[in-house]
Structures are given as C-alpha cells and as structure tokens.
Amino acid sequence: MRAQFVLSEIGVGLRRNLTMTFAVIVSVALSLALFGGSLLMSDQVSSMKGYWYDKVNVSVFLCNKSDAESDPNCAKGAVTGDQKKQILADLKKMDSVVEKVTYESADEAYKHYKEQFGDSPLASSLTPDQMQESYRIKLKDPEKYQVIATAFDGRDGVQSVQDQKGILDNLFELLNLMNRAALGVMALMLIVALLLIVNTVRVSAFSRRRETGIMRLVGASGFYIQAPFIMEAAVAGAIGGGLACVFLILGRYFTIDHGMALSEKLNLITFLGWDAVLTKLPLILAASVLMPALAAFFALRKYLKV
C-alpha cells in the first residue's frame, strides 16, 4: 500500500514537471558521463605510464666518427674501447639506481632503425657506420634520470645522454591537462544539474502544496511527505545516470573499437579494457541517485514545511 502510493505519487510528479525533469536528466547524464570519461582517461594515462615507464631507457649515446667532426661534445674524436669500458664499469657501480645495462652496437642500432622506419628515404641513405653505439640503461626508478645525466654528460666519448621519459612526460602532461579540463566542465555541469534539481523540487513542492498541506494536517510523517519529492529527484537522477553509462559504453565502443578505431590506428598504446569501463558504472549510478536525492532533501528543508 505505502509503496504503491508513493510510486504513483512519483509518477504524477515527474509527468507534471516533464520539461524540468528532462533538463535534470540531461544535465545529470552529461555531467556524469564527463565524470566517468575523465576517470577512465586518468586510468588510461596511469596505465600507459606504468606500461611505458617500464619500457623507457636512458640512453648514453657514444661518439662515432662523423660526430667527431660535427658535434662539439665529440671534439676529442670517436669513443675508444677504454672509454667504453670505463663507462660500463661506472654504470655497474651505480647499481642502486641502475637495474640493467644493455649495449647497442652501431649495427644493431642500424637494424632497429630499419625495422622501425623501413622504407623511408632517410633510412635508405643511412649506413651502419653513421649510427651511434649506445648504452641503454634501465633504471630502477624512472625518476632518477638526473643521476645518470650528471655522471655521464660531457664525459669524453659521450655524445649525449637522453631520457626517453622526458618525451613521454610531455604527452602525459597534455593528457592530464585535457583530463583536468574535462573535470572542470563536469563540475560546472554538476552544479547546473544540482541547481536544476533544487528548482524542480521547489516547483514541485509548490504545485503540490495542497496535498502536502493536507498530509501535514492529518499527521503524515515528515518522511512520508518528503519521500515522493526525494524519490522523484532520485528517479530522474537514475535515468540520467543510466544514460551516462550508455554514453560511456558507446564512447568506448566508437572511439576505441569501431568508428574512430583508435585501437588499430594507435597500436602502440594498450587501451583500457571493457572491465575498466564496467567497474565505473556502479559508481556513476550510485552518484546519479545519491546526489539528486541529497539536493532534493536540502531543497525540501527550505521549500516544504513539514
């Protein structure tokens, strides 16, 4: 009886305020879709970080013959066998930061270059002796690049010390910035959604003041009087939350799997799986119900005397 009564009251209330309800649903859907999107984005960035930082090396490039003529760092000529031994020995001593050192000869470098850039005109004009030998150093902590740089930059036979992480960091910075922008838009949308809910509740309470007045007089409890309004907001919010979930699923489907098909075009990046998307959905649904309900509750304290 109670449940049926409350449910029918909710239906009546939502239909009476159809335009307002629609606005609430759309704004909740958009804000939560943005929220979910930016959650996924930051997950994506941190998983990419984990993946790439694991792969990045610090490279100590050694001077070759042609560098000796062109590069001031190599003014003392190409690297010698002794210098190489010394560098390797020093690297071995730094085992507190260095996890692994691999040596890449000029031939190997040439081979890798060919593999990566295959048929480009630059690759075809390249010869193995133009390539540099290098030590590829994998660090225990990718942040500790500076230690290697200070130890080897400017040393005889070393052309340059390069940190691949630096290049990646720029990319991640950009992604984080986009993420923060999305969160900002989300916050605005959320404020809009909550204000809309407050206003909807106000209108709803006003249009039902006759009913609530009678309820008060015959001694209906505060909960009983408020429940329909709060449920109304919660139902509208839940519909919006459901839509946000659909947006997220469609969003992943069309950007990554099909449509833009980023997973094929950017096959260097491992994209988040469906499980990452699905685990966000309960969070979004819970937020979509709780936030409007709370907003309605506080609005009622102001606009509905119990």
Interacting residues with other proteins (CB under 8 A)? 1-2, 5, 210-211, 213-222, 224-225, 306
Task: Compute the Cα dihedral for 94, 100, 106, 110 and give only its sign.
Answer: negative
Which is closer to other proteins, CB of 16 or CB of 136?
16
Which is closer to other proteins, CB of 118 or CB of 219?
219
Which is closer to other proteins, CB of 53 or CB of 224?
224
Do residues 193 and 31 touch, judged by C-beta distance below 8 A?
A: yes
* Shortest distance in whole angstroms from residue 208 CB to other proteins: 10
Which is closer to other proteins, CB of 208 or CB of 252?
208
Bridge partners of 62, per DSSP, are: 158
Which is closer to other proteins, CB of 213 or CB of 259?
213
Residues whose CB is less than 8 angstroms from the CB of residue 118 and which lie 6 or more positions away in sequence, other chains included: none
| Residue 133 DSSP label | P
Cα–Cα nearest to 255, from 246, 264, 243, 244? 264
Structure-token pair, residue 214: 């009678």
* Shortest distance in whole angstroms from residue 222 CB to other proteins: 7
* Shortest distance in whole angstroms from residue 20 CB to other proteins: 20
DSSP β-ladder status, 58-62 and 134-139: antiparallel
- Cα(66)–Cα(61) distance, rounded to whole angstroms? 13
* Shortest distance in whole angstroms from residue 18 CB to other proteins: 17
| Residue 257 DSSP label | I
* Shortest distance in whole angstroms from residue 216 CB to other proteins: 7
